[in-house]
Amino acid sequence: MTEEICSALIDVPPGVILDATVGGGGHTLALLELRDDWNVVGVDRDQVAIEAASGKIADYKDRCILRQSEFVDFPKVLQELDVKELSGFVFDLGVSSVHFDVAERGFSYTKEGPLDMRMDQQQSLTAYEVINEYSEPDLNRIIKMYGDERFSRRITTAIANQRPITNTLELAEIIKSAIPAPARRTGGHPAKRTFQAVRIEVNSELKQLSGTLTEAVKWLVPKGRGVVLSYHSGEDRIVKKIFREAEDGGCICPSRLPCVCGAISLAKAVNKKVINPSKEEVSSNHRSSSALFRSIERLCIDESGTES
């Protein structure tokens, strides 16, 4: 949804844009090409992704700095670069082609590779430990909560009965066999949701998201905007909640009554409802089919707490 990202950010003030999830560098490059009065700071926990993106943005090195870092640490990166505020930010919470297309990384359910799934290859926890060493209740909880998988219990039982499992295709086949045949014919690959859930657990993705987004909104200048692409309901619920809290300032008053608790709104939603990718984009890029797009704009607040 690069077009939607650029459209949402096109009118923000000059300054620094944060790409908090660089991946292969596609969004970073699009932002650099969009306006020449922006500098882009890109972070990604995966050094391989940083290296791939570095080649893509080679012509814009004077306006772009890339750093290996988890997105939760973006304030530290910005402070080290003497950046004090942001004109915009982008969080693309999906897995990039850098991960999916390299079988050895263990993200793909269609290519044989080790059960890895680490975005930061320096960390110790891998998908192997999650699949083979987590208790059945914990594994079921992860698959159900992070994968929105209605057959989580059947999948968990099948996995437990086949341990130890050593590679991605073996795991994908076990998942497929646990799902009733009629359900396999719809909704994409039968292993998609379980692989997603394990990846989120390995990389602690949702545990970091809430606080990081709250902080990112605070870094925006007035009329600066932030955009987030999420890929399943758990992620989108967090994004929606954080954006709503930025809009109402954490107001605790009944919704039908005027606010008397002193809450101050920091931002407003640009799109009230989530935006999905166009049919044309899904046709050309099937990996975008589950994308959920939300954006927010920082308000201009005067000293009295009133929008100006």
CATH number for the region 2-96+206-298 comes to 3.40.50.150
Q: Tens of pLDDT along 29-38?
A: 999 999 999 9
Percent of the chain with pLDDT over 70: 96
Q: What is the pTM of this model?
A: 0.86
**Domain 99-203: homologous superfamily in CATH:** Putative methyltransferase TM0872, insert domain (1.10.150.170)
Across the beta sheet with 15-19, the strand order is 64-68, 38-44, 15-19, 86-92, 220-230, 292-298, 267-269
Q: Tens of pLDDT along 256-281?
A: 777 777 778 889 999 888 998 888 87
Where exactly are the structural domains of the chain? 2-96+206-298, 99-203
pLDDT score of 148 more than 80: yes
pLDDT-derived band at 306, boundaries 50, 70, 90: low
User: Which residue did the predictor score with more confidence, 264 or 10?
Assistant: 10
Task: Kindly report the average pLDDT of the chain as a whole number.
Answer: 90
